[in-house]
């Protein structure tokens, strides 16, 4: 089959023209934690790409298990990971439902948001260290090397509450790092203690 637009072959016998962006996800790097203080992705190091090659980036978190009950957090760097702490403004919502059905809540969490702060950004809070728990979800990060715009992100994380009885928690976050400098490194960790285990996958989108 051939598809032609304005005299240009877009598809020829089922093959897309190489100039047409497909928006597909490309796996860039996988990091695995094992009693790790943090997991860091630095552009240009260890085959990591985190620059203008792709329009946006997606991090997938798979069973991020803390060594002790704590929050799962991240921060960014403009100097290749020499330091982390770019000024950010963020917001986070939660929805949770207890296993016994006694309570189901949704609300804005003022104690976990940031207002022009260099502190760590919360992805999942009250993250349980129970042996069968690990928070999972995604972080979408947009145009880290833009010299015009601040650096926006959104996150969506599922975890188990570190209280009895257990509860399912969905953490919905968003925000921006208030800089037009290139962000070229990003670091994930627990607010206290190590990452006992877990996998983070970095993907590039479009480009």
> What average pLDDT does range 99-127 have in this prediction?
91
Residue 195 has pLDDT above 80, yes or no: yes
Over residues 10-61, the pLDDT tens digits come to: 455 555 555 555 568 999 999 999 999 999 999 999 999 999 999 999 999 9
Residue 8 has pLDDT above 60, yes or no: no
Which pLDDT score is estimated for 88? 98
Q: What are the domain boundaries of the chain? A: 21-205
Give the residue, 2 or 159, on which the prediction is more confident: 159
Average model confidence (pLDDT) for the chain? 90
Phi then psi for residue 72, to 5 deg, are -100, 125
Over residues 160-192, the pLDDT tens digits come to: 887 788 889 999 999 999 999 999 999 999 999
**Bond preceding residue 165 cis, omega within 30 of 0:** yes
Q: Quick one: CA dihedral 29, 40, 192, 120, positive or negative? A: negative
CA angle 200, 74, 190 (to 5 degrees): 80
What is the DSSP secondary-structure string of 111-124? GG-EEEE-SPEEEE
Strand ordering across the sheet containing 2-5: 2-5, 8-12, 15-16
Which pLDDT score is estimated for 166? 86
Residue 106 has pLDDT above 60, yes or no: yes
Rounded Cα distance between 200 and 197, Å, is 10
pTM, to two decimals: 0.87
Q: Which CATH number fits domain 21-205: 1.10.357, 2.60.120, 1.10.287, 3.40.50?
A: 2.60.120
Rounded Cα distance between 48 and 185, Å, is 9
In the structure encoding, which two tokens stand for residue 109, read together?
Answer: 């969490």
Confidence of residue 112 (pLDDT cuts 50, 70, 90): very high
């Amino acid at each position: 089959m051939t598809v032609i637009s304005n005299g240009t072959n877009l598809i020829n016998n089922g093959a897309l023209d190489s100039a047409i962006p497909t928006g597909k996800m490309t796996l860039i790097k996988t990091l695995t934690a094992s009693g790790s203080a943090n997991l860091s992705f630095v552009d240009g190091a260890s085959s990591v790409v985190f620059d203008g090659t792709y329009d946006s980036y997606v991090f997938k978190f798979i069973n991020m298990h803390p060594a002790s009950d704590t929050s799962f957090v991240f921060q960014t760097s403009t100097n290749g990971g020499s330091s982390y702490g770019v000024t950010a403004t963020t917001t986070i919502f939660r929805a949770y439902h207890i296993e016994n059905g006694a309570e189901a809540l949704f609300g804005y969490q003022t104690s976990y948001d940031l207002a022009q702060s260099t502190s760590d950004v919360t992805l999942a809070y009250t993250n349980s260290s129970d042996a069968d728990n690990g928070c999972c979800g995604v972080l979408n990060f947009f145009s880290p090397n833009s010299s015009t715009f601040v650096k926006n992100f959104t996150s969506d994380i599922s975890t188990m509450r570190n209280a009895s009885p257990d509860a399912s928690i969905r953490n919905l976050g968003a925000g921006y790092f208030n800089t037009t400098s290139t962000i070229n490194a990003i670091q994930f960790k627990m607010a206290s203690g190590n990452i006992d285990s877990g996998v983070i996958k970095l993907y590039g989108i479009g480009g």
